[in-house]
Amino acid sequence: MKIAVLSGKGGTGKTTVSTNLSAINKNIVLIDADVEEPNASIFLKPVITKEEKIYVEYPVIDSEKCTLCGRCGDFCKFNAIIPAKNTVLVFKESCHFCGGCEIVCPTEALKYEKREIGKIIKGTTLLKNYMEYGLLNVGELSGVKIIKALKENIKDRELVIIDSPPGTSCTTVAAVEDTDFAIIVTEPTPFGVSDMKMVVEMLRDMKIPFGVFVNKAGLGDMEVYEYCEAEKIEILGEVPFDKNISSYYAKGELFTQYMPQYKEIFENLFEEIVGGKNEN
């Protein structure tokens, strides 16, 4: 079973939930798909066993064959390739490697070369779980390729938690697509709720069953509960706002290892998802 953990608003507790959930069973594999700023490894402290470089392609023009007809430039949605007066401008970082420019070129003047955009780091956590995390190079526009590679790497594993990026844009979609269940981690504040609504819409569109987990419960107001009741969304559990939890977080520690009274919340969360049926 592949379980995505996402949130909408950043800072609600995706990584807190993902990492503490993975801690209940060493057979759970965790992947950190927030490739722009992966932080699960801070808490899981993996011993690194392997690194995998990730590449994307970009067009290179054979100036002998190019007739500057302009078709590649007209096709490109990202302004990554622009035929100019005597040369063709290529903005490598803008290229989304759709392959379209090669297809429309009438003289076969285009081919692709590859460049590195980041890597995947693989290892074993302090609690003996297998984990992988993606790391996008600073300055790169899109981490989607790395996220897809992470998903491919663990596709045959039985139990996987995917710590996803914040928001609802293409990196989150790439992390969440084709998963069996999604946990929406939210906090009971107006910002938490409003961003959560976008995530609910996205997941319904993608037809992925989901439930809500409330982190920092008691911190704000009741709107999240009212919303979930009105929308018939199951609340899978909650963690109360507790300064001690923040304290362990700030030290880079898994709080359930130090506050075992909270372990049960994650065990129950796991049971709810893997044991029962949750359709939304």
Distance of closest approach, residue 190 Cβ to other proteins, in angstroms: 24
187-215 in b/e form (b: 16+ CB < 10 A) is: bbbeebbebbeebbebbeeeebbbbbbbb
Cα–Cα distance, 274 to 280 (Å, whole number): 15
Nearer to other proteins, 140 or 234 (CB): 140
Give least dist CB 239 to other proteins, A. Answer: 37
**107: nearest Cα among 75, 70, 77:** 70
Closer CB to other proteins, 85 or 232, in the complex: 85
Least distance to other proteins, CB of residue 143, Å: 15
The tokens describing 113, both together, are 């070369």
Nearer to other proteins, 49 or 79 (CB): 79
Pick the closer one to other proteins by CB: 92 or 148: 92
Which of 207, 198, 200, 125 minimizes the C-alpha distance to 161? 125
CB 89, min distance to other proteins, A: 5
Closest CA to 172 of 212, 205, 125, 194: 205
Question: Residue 250: exposed, middle, or buried by beta-carbon count in 10 A (0-12, 13-18, 19+)?
Answer: exposed
**170 or 259: CB nearest other proteins:** 170
CB of 228 to other proteins, least distance (A): 34
Contact residues for other proteins, defined by CB under 8 A: 73, 78-80, 82, 84-87, 89, 91, 94, 141
CB of 104 to other proteins, least distance (A): 17
Rounded Cα distance, 197 and 75, in Å:
35
Closest C-alpha to 116, from 80, 150, 145:
145
Q: Which is nearer to other proteins, 83 or 188 (CB)?
A: 83
Smaller CB separation from other proteins, 89 or 198: 89
Alpha-carbon gap, residue 154 to 249, rounded angstroms:
27
Residues pairing with 182 in the sheet: 4, 210
CB of 168 to other proteins, least distance (A): 16
Using DSSP's 3-state secondary structure scheme, residue 257 falls into helix
